Amino acid sequence: MLLLGGAATTPLAVGAGYIALHTLVGLFPWSDFAGALLQYWVGEVIGIAVLTPVVLVTLRGTLPRASWRGGAELAVYGLLIGITLWLDFGPLASAQYEHFYLLFLPAVAVAVRHGLAGAALASAATQGGLIVAIQVTGVETARTTHFQLLMLTLAVTALLLGAVVSERRRVEAMIRDRQSALDRVSRLTEAGGMAAALAHELNQPLSATMSYARAARKIARLEQASPRLGEILDKTVIQAERADRVIRSLRDFVRKGHSNPAPLSVAALIADCLVLATPVAGQHAVSIQAEISPGLPAVSGDAVQLQQVLLNLVRNAAEAMDTPDPRSRRIVVFAHPDTEAGFVAVGVRDSGPGLSDVVERNLFAPFVTTKATGMGLGLSIAHSIVEAHGGTLTGERRPHGETVFRFTLPVHDAGPNHETGINSDDA
Ligand code: ADP
C-alpha cells in the first residue's frame, strides 16, 4: 500500500511541474495540460508499480523456487497471457480490445498460488507482453494510455491480492511456530511438575525405609545376628540414602526454576492466548470471547508461564464442553481490577457441565483427572505458577452448569519483585 501510494503521488507532483514547464515554454497548449499530465502520470506509475515489486521480491529472495511443476505452471500462465494478447491484438481483434479482462485470470491465479512474489512476476510478465503487442501492432499513442490504465488496474489488483495471501501465510506460519514452542514449554513444565509430584510422593516412603533399615541394623548388632545380615542392612541404608539424595536434588532443581518477571499488559496476554487457542476452539467447536475492563494496569509476571496458565484453563474449558447444543459452547476470558487493591483478576468462564465432585474435592492436587488420556497435572501446575507470581488461583462450580477459574496477579510496581518458579511442595 505504501509503495502504491508513493508510486501514485510522487509522479503526480513531478509530472505537474514537468508538464507545466513545457506548457509555459509553449510546447503544449494549456488545454492539453490534463491529458498530458494523465499520460505522464500513468506511464510513471505503471513503471514503478510493475518493476519495483519485482526488484524488491528478488532482493528479499522470496521468489518461488524453480521446479518442473513450477515451470509447467508458468508455461500455462504464459500461454493464457499469450492467448489473451493474441485475441486482443491478433488478426481476430476488434478495435475495442474487449478481451483484456481475461488477463486478470492468470494474474489472480498466480497471486493466490504464490502470494506477493507471484503477483509481482505475473504483472511484470503481462506488462512485458503488452509492450511487445503494442510495439508489433503499432497501436496509436492515445490508445496506449488506455492500455496502461487497464494494466495499472491489473497490477494493483494482483499486488494487493498477493500481499494479502503472503501476509496470511506469514501469520499462519507464525501461529504454527508459537503453538509448537508453547507445546514444547508445556510438555517441559508438565514433566517438571510430574518430577516434583513424584519427588514429593516418594519422599515419605523413602524416609520411612531409611529409618526402618537403620533400626533393623541396630537391632541386628544388639542381638548379634549374622554378620552377613548386618552387611546387607548396611547396603540397604546406603542405597536408601543415595535415593534420598537423588530425590532431594530433583526437588531443588525443580524449585530453582527461575523465570523472567516483567511488566505485562493483561489485554496483550489475553489476545495472545486467544490466538493460540484458535485451534483448540476449532477442534471443540466452541466460541471464545474476551471481556476486558478498560484501562487495566500492567501486571508483573512471566509472559510464557502466564500464557500457559490461561491456555490450560481455556483448553480445559473447551474439553469440558461436549454438549450437543453448539449455542451453549461459550468460553469467556475476562480481566478486571480485583477487589484487593494492587491486583488484577484474570479468568476463564465456560458454559460446560461444571467440575465433577472428585475434582472439586481435590482441586489443584496432582494426578486428579476425569479424562481417559489426561495426566491431571494442568491445574496443579497452573496453581503453582500463579502462587509463585504472588497471586491466587480459585475454581468454582456455579449453578446452571458454569465453571469459573479465576486468578489474581500483582500490578507491576505494586509489590515486591517476585521470583517465580514451580515449587515442588506446591506441586
Ligand atoms: P487434565 O486436563 O490432564 O485432566 P487438569 O489438571 O488440567 O488435568 O484438570 C483436571 C480435571 O479438572 C480434568 O480432568 C477435568 O475433569 C477437571 N476440569 C478442569 N477444568 C474444567 C472445566 N472448565 N470444567 C469441568 N471440569 C474441569
Looking up residue 385, the CATH number of its domain turns out to be: 3.30.565.10
Residues with CB under 6 A from ligand 1: 312, 316-317, 320, 350, 352, 355-356, 359, 368-371, 374-380, 403
Q: Is 215 domain-assigned?
A: yes
Q: Is 421 domain-assigned?
A: no
From atom 26 of ligand 1, which residue's Cα is the shortest distance away? 355
| Residue 422: predicted pLDDT | 38
Choose the final residue of a domain: 257, 292, 322: 257
238-243 long-range Cβ contacts below 8 angstroms, 24+ apart = 240/206, 240/209, 240/210, 240/213, 241/210, 243/202, 243/206
> One-letter amino acid identity for 83?
I
From atom 19 of ligand 1, which residue's Cα is the shortest distance away? 316
Residues 242 and 125 in one domain: yes
Lookup: cell for 324:
450437543
From atom 11 of ligand 1, which residue's Cα is the shortest distance away? 369
Domain that holds residue 348: 262-410
Looking up cell 467440575 gives 355
| Residue 424: predicted pLDDT | 35
| Residue 423: predicted pLDDT | 39
Residues 225 and 304 in one domain: no
Q: Is 350 domain-assigned?
A: yes
Answer whether 0.75 is exceeded by the pTM.
no
Q: Is 425 domain-assigned?
A: no
Residues 334 and 403 in one domain: yes
> One-letter amino acid identity for 316?
N
Q: Is 279 domain-assigned?
A: yes
Looking up cell 474476551 gives 290
Burial class of 147 by CB neighbour count within 10 A (0 to 12, 13 to 18, 19+): buried
Alpha-carbon span 257 to 29, nearest angstrom: 80
- What is the distance in A from the centroid of ligand 1 to the CA of 315? 9
> One-letter amino acid identity for 276?
L
Residues 316 and 237 in one domain: no
Residues 193 and 324 in one domain: no
Number of domains in the chain: 2
- With H, G, I as helix, E, B as strand and everything else as coil, classify residue 347: strand
Choose the final residue of a domain: 234, 257, 280: 257
Residues 181 and 222 in one domain: yes
| Residue 253: predicted pLDDT | 62
Atom of ligand 1 nearest to the CA of 321: 24
Choose the final residue of a domain: 257, 291, 321: 257
Residues 86 and 191 in one domain: yes
- What are the pLDDT tens digits along the chain (427 aa)? 888 999 999 999 999 999 999 999 988 899 999 999 998 999 999 999 999 999 998 998 877 777 788 888 888 988 988 998 888 888 887 777 778 888 899 999 999 999 999 999 999 999 999 889 888 888 777 778 888 888 999 999 999 999 999 999 999 998 888 887 777 777 777 777 788 788 878 888 888 999 999 999 999 989 888 889 989 999 999 888 878 877 776 776 666 555 567 899 999 999 988 888 888 888 888 999 999 999 999 999 888 788 889 999 999 999 998 766 666 789 999 999 998 889 999 999 998 888 998 899 889 887 788 988 787 888 988 888 898 889 999 999 988 778 999 999 999 974 444 444 433 333 3
Q: Is 36 domain-assigned?
A: no
Atom of ligand 1 nearest to the CA of 366: 6
- What is the distance in A from the centroid of ligand 1 to the CA of 55? 54
Residues 77 and 219 in one domain: yes
- What is the distance in A from the centroid of ligand 1 to the CA of 259? 25
Residues 272 and 405 in one domain: yes
From atom 23 of ligand 1, which residue's Cα is the shortest distance away? 317
Angstrom CA distances, 263 to 152, 300, 380, stand at 48, 5, 25
| Residue 427: predicted pLDDT | 31
Residues 161 and 221 in one domain: yes
Alpha-carbon span 254 to 106, nearest angstrom: 59
| Residue 214: predicted pLDDT | 92
**Dihedral sign, CA of 33, 39, 41, 44?**
negative
Q: Is 5 domain-assigned?
A: no
Residues 226 and 282 in one domain: no
Residues 245 and 123 in one domain: yes
- What is the distance in A from the centroid of ligand 1 to the CA of 369? 6
Give 247-307 as a DSSP string.
HHHHHHHHHT-----EEE-HHHHHHHHHHHHHHHHHHHT-EEEEEE-TTPPPEEE-HHHHH
Atom of ligand 1 nearest to the CA of 312: 7
- What is the distance in A from the centroid of ligand 1 to the CA of 374? 8
Q: Is 24 domain-assigned?
A: no
Probe target for ligand 1 pocket from 369, 385, 406, with the most ligand atoms within 8 Å of CB:
369
